[in-house]
Amino acid sequence: MRKRIFEIIEAASAGDRASTIYDICMMGVIIGSLIPLAFKQSYPAFDFINVISSYIFIADYLLRLFTSDLKLKRGALSFFLYPFTPMAIIDLVAILPSFTPLFSSLRLMKLFRLLRSFRAFRSFKLFRYAKSVQIIVSVIKAQKGPLLAVCSLAVGYVLIAALIIFNVEPNTFNNFFEAIYWATVSLTTMGYGDIYPVSTAGRIVTMVSSFVGIAIVALPASIITAGYMNQINKK
């Protein structure tokens, strides 16, 4: 029985109708639980949705904990290790907003609002059920070496560009953090326009930074795309 429960609650495998239905239902519950976040007002229907979705999430978490030894294959130790796995933590964060009424009675409004915002983390539970997302996650794990190299290159670019622009235009940037913010925006080529260089030297640095930023941003996209295609071909 435990093995069959494990097969159902895990991502649907080919030909397992019960597992497929479970995945579809869970995706519907996750999406439905996020609907109240799109409204500023609170309605009785939203409270009902929150209560029902919370009970479902709690049941799902307990079932996964109940069958964690079949997933982790560490014997009795699995029941203690499972709560600390990344997806289990996401599940727990998704359940946490269910207990906000306990905090509201203590008038801890800031904490209440913080816990209410945690409901947005329920969207991460979709990772369990969306096969395309699972493929992307596996691609990132397989390509973590090149991606880490690109991230290091991006961080180095931001720091060097920030140091250069901060010294070229000291009057434009009040502190080094603003220079880092400018360099990050230049890296992504978004250009909000709230902070910009006014001198000729500063504008030249900006142009060079934009070209370098385009190249750096394109690297992870190409790495992930190539890895994604490899995974698709394997499957």
- Reported as a pLDDT band with limits 50, 70 and 90, residue 96 is confident
pLDDT of residue 118: 58
pLDDT mean across residues, the chain:
78
Q: What is the pLDDT of residues 36-50, one digit of tens each?
A: 777 778 788 888 888
DSSP 173-191: -SSHHHHHHHHHHHHTT--
Q: What is the pLDDT of residues 123-158, one digit of tens each?
A: 666 666 666 666 777 777 777 888 888 888 888 888
pLDDT exceeds cutoff 50 at 101: yes
- Reported as a pLDDT band with limits 50, 70 and 90, residue 186 is confident
DSSP 50-99: HHHHHHHHHHHHHHHHHTHHHHH--GGGHHHHGGGSHHHHHHHHHHGGGG
Contact 71, 85 (CB under 8 A): no
pLDDT of residue 23: 81
- Reported as a pLDDT band with limits 50, 70 and 90, residue 108 is very low
Identify which of 202, 201, 181 has the alpha carbon closest to the alpha carbon of residue 192.
181
Q: Do domains 2-129 and 144-234 have the same CATH topology?
A: no
Contact 188, 217 (CB under 8 A): yes
pLDDT of residue 218: 80
d(CA 184, CA 191): 10
Q: What pTM did the predictor assign?
A: 0.58
pLDDT of residue 120: 60
- Reported as a pLDDT band with limits 50, 70 and 90, residue 161 is confident
**Domain locations in the chain?**
2-129, 144-234
C-alpha distance from residue 234 to each of 12, 45, 135, 170, 204 (Å)? 18, 45, 11, 53, 46
Q: What is the pLDDT of residues 4-63, one digit of tens each?
A: 888 888 765 667 788 888 888 888 888 888 787 777 787 888 888 888 888 888 898 899
d(CA 164, CA 146): 27
Could you tell me the fold of the domain covering 144-234?
Helix Hairpins (1.10.287)
Which architecture characterizes domain 2-129 according to CATH?
Up-down Bundle (1.20)
Contact 62, 164 (CB under 8 A): no
pLDDT of residue 116: 52
d(CA 192, CA 127): 32
Half-sphere exposure of 214 (CA within 13 A, CB side): 6
Contact 180, 158 (CB under 8 A): yes
pLDDT exceeds cutoff 50 at 109: no
Contact 2, 66 (CB under 8 A): yes
Q: What percent of the chain has pLDDT over 70?
A: 81
